[in-house]
Amino acid sequence: MNKLVNTLELKIASIQMVSTPNLNENLELAARLIKAASDSGSKLVVLPEYFCLMGLKDTDKVNLREAVGSGPIQERLAAIAQENNIYLVAGSIPLEAQESNKVLNTSLVFNPLGKQIARYDKIHLFGFQTETERYEESETIAPGSQPGQFQITINEVDWRFGLSICYDLRFPELYRSLGEVDCHIIPAAFTYTTGKDHWEILLRARAIENQCYVLSSAQGGVHINQRRTWGDSMLIDPWGQILTNLPQGEGLITGTLSKDKLNEVRSKLPALKHRRL
């Protein structure tokens, strides 16, 4: 009986960082935290958006852009996944776009052999302006056009994941378009200003309306460029309950996905089957 229960559960982890303008420094920290997650028994680990670089200016990431499947960032990530025998969702890295002055903000997924098995280019680009803050991602980022998802099989059990990044969280139609998944993965670098009011409620809403787990991996603190990110990486269950979270600072959270919990929620309140539009 215990063996059956274990095969219907999957231990996962989310990394929280306060990334700097130093690529190597960020990669070393990510590697240490991923190893700690792997040592804890996690089979899938998620990194936050911009984990590899939080530049002094927005154009810094353009100088680090890599071609798909080639470059030091991707090579290091593949090696880390292989060394730790995990599935690694690499929050976002800058990949080449058609325009030379822009990048694609891309999540890549690596399997335990270090092979890239999925890719998602961020579709929705953040724009926000107050008297003291201004963000306009479209100035340095080209939008993606295709939703992203992937499936893994562990102990003969299939697990399906949806991919999205940060600002995507505000667009529920993206999540609906992916159909039924076991868990939506959301790496982010939410600003403190928007995060304090909207982060938790949006994450819980995506979990409740899609009756699935939501695992977020965030930037969380004051960065060298003086940007302040909200943090609060968390795992939410299909009923919308927060299972674990990390409010601020670098570190990691771990938790367990349960097929039994997914089935329980979807059977007692079959909202996904009640859809009319």
- Distance (Å, whole) CA 120 – CA 104: 9
For CA atoms 49, 151, 159, 241, give the dihedral sign: positive
- Distance (Å, whole) CA 177 – CA 85: 31
Is 49 a residue of the active site?
Answer: yes
3-class state of residue 133 by DSSP: coil
178 in Cβ contact with 150 (< 8 Å)? no
Is 196 a residue of the active site?
Answer: no
- Distance (Å, whole) CA 243 – CA 253: 10
For CA atoms 211, 212, 213, 214, give the dihedral sign: negative
First CA to last CA distance, the chain: 41
Is 261 a residue of the active site?
Answer: no
- Distance (Å, whole) CA 140 – CA 56: 14
Catalytic residue among 49, 96, 137, 250: 49
Catalytic residue among 52, 61, 166, 261: 166
- What percent helix, strand, coil does the chain show, rounded to 5? 30, 35, 35
- The type of residue at 114 is G
Nearest to 89 by CA among 199, 183, 195: 183
Catalytic residue among 43, 61, 102, 122: 122
- Active site residue ranges: 49, 122, 166
